[in-house]
Chain A
Amino acid sequence: MKRRTFLHVIGASGTAAALTGCQRGGPERLIPYLEPEADVSPGATVEYSTVCRECPAGCGMIARVRDGRAFMVRGNPDHPINRGALCMRGTASLQGLYNPDRIRQPLARDTYGRLTPISWREAEDRLDAALTALRGKRAAWIGRLETGAMDRLITSWLAAIAPGSTFLRHEPFAYEPLRAAHARVFGTAEIPQYRIDRARMLISFGADFLETWVSNVEYTRQFSEWRQARVRGDHRARYVFIAPRLSLTGANADEWVGIRPGTEGLVARALEHAVTAAHRSAAGITQAGPLAGAEGMSEIGPLADAAGIPATLVERLGREFAAGSPSLALPIGFAGSGEAAAESEAAILRLNGAAGNIGATVLRGEPHALSAASRYADLIALTGAMNAGDIGAVFLYHANPSYDLPPGAGFDGALARVPHVVSFASFPDETTGSPGETGGHASLVLPDHTDLEAWGEYSPRPDTTGIQQPVVAPLFETRLTGDVLLESARRLGHDLGPARFEDYLKSEHRLDAAAWITTLQAGGLFPGSGTAGEGSRQRAVFRSHGAAALAAGAAGSEAPKRPKGMPRPDRPTDLTRKASAAHKTSGEPPTVIGPPETTLTEQPLSGMERAAGTSVAGPGESGERSGASSPFTAAGGIGRPSPASKPPTAPPNLSTPITPSPIRAAHPTESTTGLFLHIFPSIQFFDGRMANRPWSQEIPDSTAKAVWGSWAEIHPDRARALAVRSGQVLSITTASGKVEVPALISDWVHPDVVAVMIGQGHTTFGRYASGVGANPLTLLDGRADPASGGPMVGGVPVNVARIPVTRPLAVLQTGIRQIGEDVAHGMTIREMDQLPANARGAALRDRNDHDSLYHLHYHPDRHWGMVIDLDRCVGCNACVAACYAENNVPVVGHDECARGREMSWIRIENYVGPASHEAGPPVPVESEFQTAAETRGNSMQVDVRFLPMLCQQCDNAPCEYACPVYATVHDNEGLNLMIYNRCIGTRFCSNNCPYKVRRFNWADNNFPSPLDEQLNPDVIHRTKGVMEKCTFCVQRIRAREIEADSTGHPIRDGEIATACMQACPADAIIFGNLNDKNSEVHRMTRSPRGYAALADLNTYPNVTYLARVRQT
């Protein structure tokens, strides 16, 4: 080799090596803090408060961060919306942050139409070019619902760069019919606040308030309190679910009235008559009274007939609804928003009015932020404008209309005509496109931070503002969209305020530095946030964004922690105190609709439309905010986007004679098979934006218990008629589209309904969501409901045919009925009342050495135990997600789940009680012992027991003696320890576990980078061939014990919370020391309802269940 060649080779290889080193820009993050910052000590966990932005509910969230990595999130205990709880979507926000499919740098279309990486400098140039090219043309902003600073920034930015632009706060679940109904009745298009906990009779017309509806954690909390009060004896209210499908929310009801889709309004009107009649008879007014002709009982029969339910049922429900005052009728959810929805919602509102619930359980004046979301019709209008070539640029901001609009809406074609589509997406999606691929519409992608890296704020209600601060440094070359907007405006010569969005946000709130720090620590501005609550004292502000000294001081102080299960000072359990507090905070006397005999007047629909808000607002056109000028004509002077925060300009006219508007064809035209489509949202996917989180896919659906796919729920009668079995593929067609999904035969749907879950069927949404399941929205024709501006979702007639393909679903629950009632106990209220006051649960039957060959374990100091109240558990899977996050539980995918190899340490088992056996069991899972049930539009008792099953930490554990190598042993604190390093994988322990809670690592489960950065550093990552199971979060117990031993501070009750307990929105899980006679867990273990699962096996579990209580 010549010397020269040698030098060539050396030079080339050296350059190549250097280039490889340059490939991944940014700092090496193996040890994020080689030189720790002032308030960060390596290995110590710091907590930052922020806001969950996974849905418009806006719960307060606290991220646990160690060494610059967020490994766990929990609810902010001070935040008035969620009070420390967090649903599974909130927990899964971690997997948004560390999603391996994130867009990692700016992208632009190359000459082949592929999205290729570019530098930020180039991206800025391209953005400027696009903005300059607008030249007076209108632009459109399609973004998720924002409130406060970001909303105002977008507004003013749009006004600066393209006056007259359209600003759509696009939320697929915008509840247009509900807003329209309120606009019609009260003049303001608002989503009011409901007080489920105050209701003495609860009817939901399909609002799945435990899953996705408006603010599910908040309503789950209220519902849990409602159930607790019922068990305490404060009330004996009933909860009736009236909907075509028994959703998770319905499965928590006492009674289900299965109705055909679209008939909710008829039922509500019939009920209204029944309520009025009941009031009248209570007041001694006979049928011959002056109003008898219009409002007599005679009206009920035809309405009930039209709805297909017996009139007697309506009369009974009406009597109960009138008797239980205040009662509450919750509206129709997304699934029911169809042709008749606005009128049905109005009918439900009138029903509430007739029962005197307005102001008591339906609180107006504090509208939910969703009231400001744009309507579906606005998007359709924008599509028209885009097609007409009026729109010069479209900005996409955390919105994915190509997925969540039906193809019939023509959005894709319209967007293709727009010359510049700038996307601020964090993830590749159908609208934006995917890096390196030609799909999608974005010509320029300026990736935004995910919400855990970003500054922001969100106000779910006018008096509650959560401040969102970054909890980790940005992972990739992304930029905060707020910063991008401010910078681009400055480059184009507009001054919108501070240079960075962080300062913009701060300036919006006009707080001094100290108050700002306090606000950040508290998690936002809301009633009680000024006083230092539990969260605020132990939380630091993100160091790299300033305020180090203050944060360091704040982070050091140890606040006394309060047990989660205990009543909080700011959380009165007394309902009356709560009511008065709510009135106080609302700032205005609640509008009370007077005596029950008065009925509300309806304003004409045109007025409603105006009030409900037309978001496509050109200059001069009146905006959606009553009394306010259009947000797009002026840069400032816009209040919070809460259209109904002001009291209605005119009080509702209550004295006008009743002229009920006729319910239009509530029952759509028959399809050839007489089946109607029912598209329902689910707790894990929401509107589909959560589908790329592996936990959303892997954690089973809360009712069907299926994972990684879509299915069509179909009634057994229909299945017989179609000769279809579970797993066989059904082809569901409408004039607009077709989906092919496996059938799931279920008694939990009305026979006239085929129900498909929304949220799956993505084509471009990362590796976890793409190609999984089907999107039922493609079956819709895309029309907007003229009455409300909402999408036409419910009651679409469909053709269903069996196609000769079998695609078995991965269903994790096999049997729905227990053998011998040993696992999930239930009792009626009457039975509960008859329990002797000194009854002790079966869990506490005397233990003695004679029951076992071996001596009982002795727990001298502490004896950890858990109580799970089945009456509070709603089966929402929040605990499951929290467990996945806390304990590094791997995700294994569809095929493994189909073999029962899912790794979840805690699961919700759905069992159907004997009460519904007789009435016809709702059976979501087809098993070989299934029998069909007749529901046929009649009511049936619902007795579904949701049982969180986790390791019972038995004191006489069958798994322990089975292990040949002592890999699972008992400790002196009652914990059943699992020593992964000692396990050789005989799997005998799993065979011998009657609860079947041990999970085996069938393979090495890896976490694709950067998902591995979410792993909890306190918990080992298990390898193949090793058994694992719930540990009662032993890492948390030990951490606190070590602290207690070193500092001498004794462990107080409730100080140690397992991840599942911390997340639970219903407070169903209580953990603590059974040896402490004053502990909550000790007290609750002694509840008369307490029992041990499979107690006769003599396993002495340390988990005590409290039986579920049903009405009858």
Chain B
Amino acid sequence: MSSERAASTQESQLPGRVPLHESFREITEHVIDVMQRKPGRGYWLLLLLSLVMMTLGLAAWGTQIIHGLGMTGLMHPMMWAIYIGDYIWWIGIATAGTLTSAILFLFRAPFRAAFSRAAEGMTCIAILTAGLFPLIHLGRTWRFYWVFPYPNERHLWVNFRSPLIIDVWVIATYLVLSIVYFWLELLPDAAVVRDRSTGWKRTIYGMISLGWEGTDRQWKHLLMASTLHAALLTPVIISMHSITSWDLALAIVPDWHYTIFPPYFVTGAIFSGLAMLLTLMIPIRSYFHLERVITVDRLEQLAKIIIATSLMVTYSYAVIYFMAWYRGDPIEEVGYLYQFFGGFKVLFWLFTICNCVFPLTLLFRRLRRNLVWLWILSIIINVGMLAERWCIVAAPLARDYDVYSWAPGTFHVSWVGIGITIGSLGFFLFSFLIFIKVVPIVPLYELRKDMLREAREARAETEAEGLLKARYEELRIKAIETQSGAGGSES
């Protein structure tokens, strides 16, 4: 311990490192305290707000079920608009959570630890939220289970050629994997909470922690399982969002039918998901005083990824518009002209500015490290990506092969459509507020591991330096000895 403490004095000045002036116990106390502290008024207000939003959403959904999908304001050629847009947006947010957690785990990115728990939680909640939308958008929601191939006496089966069925499977796979991964990562921390609580809480966390004792054998298995799951999740998020894009790209709608859609959707998803992560983490950081854990440096790392994905998304847009022009298909051209200057121009220019222009401000280090701007920008990106999802779902349907059926304007959204979107945000917010009160928001063992690793690295450096010094000293002495010896012998 003393060596760590000694090392921390010099290491804490290095960027990107957890300050090591605290002990494991202090860190643990701090994080658990965030979780178990009696919540303040702000928390309750937010919880109330989320409940109100959820109620609105439920009322809207009920109205829609009773009176039919006509309540949403959808219209004929644009059979999909707001719900499928919301769905893709939520799936995108989930994707970024997994990316932060799993991919960075595989790459052993040092700044991952601070976000991974929140990101995994966000993933699970976002994917549950996203999963609601395919149900909500069905004409006959009460028959949703028909998309699963369950045995029935009439031998009805599902159509595996349909992108929607592939979507169902990939979402289900992703949900299961995400929850398992989240749980695995939670085990040691749940055990810590278990050990620090009493009564029914102890029972519950005991069940969650699956009898974790922290033995070497358990650690070994946990590490193996985490690595495997992270390795499994990484291709799954790529394929999952690719498949989500197939819902559009496999259709013969002219402006959906692009091979670039899968990578474009994945980058867009990461882009929006990281923005959502920032939207969540920056308030949490300040509210729970996690500045010591979630440092500005780590947030800056995220901001850098956001710039990269923003540029990739911009590139995808450019490729799509270029191809629409270059291929010379008049229907594609008409469709995009309609997006640029026609009924979708508000949405189009909104998302173009939000997604392509504003993120460029992060090229400036000062803005990148300005948390207020970072937070505002994350909201801007979220809005932009939602607008983009709505636009790319609905606008191509508005201009199709059959000119008679062209939409006369942009899509209409009634209070039901808006209400359900707000309700989904409420559901997400509510779930996240519950989440931060029942689960350590920062993974303790990861943090400890980081601290240990850094300490070890620091010590190793120190030791190496010492060795070098010793060796030098040795050589020097040797040299002196040799010199003196030679001289002595001579003398």
Contacts and interface: CB of A to CB of B under 8 A. Distances in A.
B402 A1002 contact: no
Nearest to A947: B404
Contacts of B401: 819, 822-823, 994-996, 1094, 1097
A1021 to B, nearest CB: 14
Interface in A992-1031: 992, 994-996, 999-1004, 1024-1027
Interface string B312-334: 00000000000000000011001
Interface stretch (A252-260, A809-817, A837-845, A1102-1110): A809-817
A391 to B, nearest CB: 52
A814 B405 contact: yes
Given A819-B330, A985-B69, A985-B140, A961 B404 contact: no
B407 A991 contact: no
Contact of A987 (B139, B165, B334): B139
B67 A1003 contact: yes
* SS class, residues of chain B in contact with chain A: loop
Interface in B53-100: 67-71, 73-77, 79-80
Contacts of A823: 401-403
B42 interface: no
A1002 B165 CA distance: 23
A713 to B, nearest CB: 18
Contacts of B140: 983-985, 1024-1026
* SS class, residues of chain A in contact with chain B: loop
Contact of B68 (A986, A988, A994, A1004): A1004
A996 B79 CA distance: 11
Interface stretch (B122-130, B142-150, B220-228, B384-392): B142-150
Interface residues of A, number: 56
B161 A1003 contact: no
Contacts of A963: 159, 162
A911 interface: yes
A820 interface: yes
Interface string A640-670: 0000000000000000000000000000000
Given A966-B156, A985-B139, A896 B70 contact: yes
Given A984-B144, A987-B80, A1000 B139 contact: yes
B162 A961 contact: yes
Contacts of B159: 961, 963-966
Contact of A992 (B68, B76, B251): B251
B340 to A, nearest CB: 12
Contact of A1024 (B139, B404, B406): B139
A958 B252 contact: yes
A986 B164 contact: yes
B164 A962 contact: yes
Contacts of B163: 962, 988
Contacts of B168: 964
Contacts of B408: 811, 814, 900
B403 A815 contact: yes
B76 A900 contact: yes
B117 to A, nearest CB: 35
A1027 B139 contact: yes
B402 A996 contact: yes
B76, B159, B342, most chain A CB atoms within 10 A: B76
Contact of A986 (B137, B156, B330): B137
B119 interface: no
B300 to A, nearest CB: 42
Contacts of B475: none
Contacts of B403: 814-819, 823, 909, 911
B280 to A, nearest CB: 32
A830 to B, nearest CB: 26
Given A965-B147, A986-B138, A995 B164 contact: no
Contacts of B238: none
Nearest to B248: A991
Interface string B394-415: 0001001111111110001000
A787 interface: no
A949 B76 contact: no
Interface in A953-984: 958, 961-966, 982-984
Contact of A991 (B138, B253, B402): B253
Nearest to A987: B79
Contacts of A911: 403-404
B158 interface: yes
A819 B80 CA distance: 23
Contact of B404 (A964, A991, A996): A996
B251 A995 contact: no
A901 B76 contact: yes
B139 A1001 contact: yes
A74 B412 CA distance: 40
A866 B71 CA distance: 37
B157 interface: yes
B397 to A, nearest CB: 6
A965 to B, nearest CB: 5
A994 B400 contact: yes
B139 A983 contact: yes
Interface in A924-966: 927-928, 949, 958, 961-966
A965 B400 contact: no
Contacts of A962: 162-164, 251
Contacts of A850: none
A1087 interface: no
Interface in A485-501: none
A961 B161 contact: yes
A468 interface: no
A994, A999, A1026, A1097, most chain B CB atoms within 10 A: A994
Contacts of A985: 69, 138-140
A986 B140 CA distance: 8
Nearest to A928: B342
Given A822-B401, A965-B158, A994-B401, A1002 B407 contact: no
Given A965-B146, A986-B164, A988-B162, A907 B404 contact: yes
Interface in A283-340: none
B68 A1003 contact: yes
Contacts of A990: 76, 79
B69, B74, B144, B404, most chain A CB atoms within 10 A: B404
B147, B159, B330, B334, most chain A CB atoms within 10 A: B159
B404 A1000 contact: no
Contacts of B79: 987-988, 990-991, 1000
Nearest to B79: A987
Given A815-B403, A984-B139, A996 B68 contact: no
A306 to B, nearest CB: 41
A900 B164 contact: no
B334 A819 contact: yes
A815 B406 contact: yes
Contacts of A964: 147, 158-159, 162, 164-165, 168
B102 to A, nearest CB: 29
B77 A988 contact: no
B137, B140, B397, most chain A CB atoms within 10 A: B140
B98 to A, nearest CB: 25
A232 interface: no
Contact of B156 (A901, A982, A983, A995): A982
Interface in A861-914: 896, 899-902, 907, 909, 911
A1025 B156 contact: no
B251 A988 contact: yes
A607 B225 CA distance: 108
Given A1002-B70, A1097-B401, 4 more contacts: A962-B251, A965-B146, A1002-B68, A1024-B139
Q: Which 9 A-B pairs have the closest CB atoms?
A: A985-B139, A1025-B139, A1002-B70, A900-B76, A815-B403, A1003-B68, A1024-B68, A814-B406, A987-B79
11 contacts: A854-B161, A928-B342, A964-B158, A965-B147, A966-B157, A982-B156, A987-B137, A995-B402, A1024-B67, A1026-B139, A1097-B401
